């Protein structure tokens, strides 16, 4: 082959490889993976405490990812956190009275919303509200409970030494 053309070809290959690697890193190893791309419907739930839950955290049912946390705002009337989730359209058979719970993957891992299916015949649809929720487990409360040996009363959660 013409030596000048083979230069150009090799250079082109190198540039392609570099950009491919960059694209791989950016899309496959970062939180971009968690972007739900397909069509989805919105469901809201209120929690008294969301702990460390963040935007774009996964929503799982039976450990399977079904959606993404879309937004988290404070509802100033109830003083609760209002979480909007985007659930993928293909999961349209989730009972309306399902139970939403904020969980942690591992002891120090990330927080996500776990759905436990209820028994209602009607299913979640766009705009549905999940009434049954359980807030994030606070490590501090847990340790407090553990130290006092019994259920955490109001006194044990205040900052007494």
Partner 1 sequence: MKQFVARVFDPLLDGLADVGRTGWFFIGLLLALPRGLTYPRELLRQIWFVGAKSLIIIMISGLFVGMVLSLQLYYTLSIFGGTSALGTVIALSLYRELGPVVTALLFAGRAGTAITAEVGLMRATDQLSAMEMMAVDPLAFVASPRFLAGLIAMPLLVAVFNMMGLFGGHLVGVTWLGIDNGTFWSNMTGNVSVWKDVISGEWKALAFGALVSLIAVYQGYSAPPTSEGVANATTRTVVSSSIAILALDFVLTAFLM
Which residue ranges make up the site for partner 1 (CB under 8 A)?
Answer: 4, 7-8, 10-11, 13-15, 17-19, 21-22, 24-26, 28-34, 57-58, 105-110
Closest separation in Å from C-beta 64 to partner 1: 12
CB of 37 or CB of 155, closer to partner 1: 37
Closest separation in Å from C-beta 51 to partner 1: 15
Closest separation in Å from C-beta 136 to partner 1: 16
SS3 23: helix
Closest separation in Å from C-beta 127 to partner 1: 28
DSSP string, 99-149: EEEEEESSSSS-EEEEEE----SSB--TTEEE-EEE-PPPHHHHHHHHHHS
The residues facing 112 across adjacent strands are 103
Task: With beta carbons less than 8 A apart as the criterion, state whether 84 and 109 touch.
Answer: no
CB of 113 or CB of 124, closer to partner 1: 113
CB of 4 or CB of 77, closer to partner 1: 4
Distance between CA 150 and CA 156 in Å, rounded?
Answer: 10
CB of 30 or CB of 48, closer to partner 1: 30
């Amino acid at each position: 082959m013409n030596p000048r053309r083979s230069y150009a070809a090799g250079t082109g290959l190198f540039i392609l490889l570099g950009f491919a690697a960059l694209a791989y890193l950016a899309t496959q190893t970062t939180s971009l993976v968690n972007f739900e791309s397909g069509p989805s419907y919105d469901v809201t739930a209120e929690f008294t405490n969301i702990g460390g839950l963040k935007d774009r955290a996964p929503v799982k049912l039976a450990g399977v990812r079904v959606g993404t946390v879309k937004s988290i705002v404070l509802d100033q009337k109830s003083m609760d956190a209002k979480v909007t989730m985007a659930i993928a359209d293909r999961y349209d058979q989730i009972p309306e009275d399902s139970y939403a719970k904020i969980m942690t993957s591992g002891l120090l891992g990330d927080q996500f919303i776990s759905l436990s299916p209820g028994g209602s015949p009607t299913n979640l649809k766009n705009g549905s509200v999940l009434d049954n929720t359980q807030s994030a487990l606070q490590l501090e409360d847990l340790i407090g409970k553990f130290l006092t040996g019994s259920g955490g009363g109001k006194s044990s959660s205040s900052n007494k030494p």
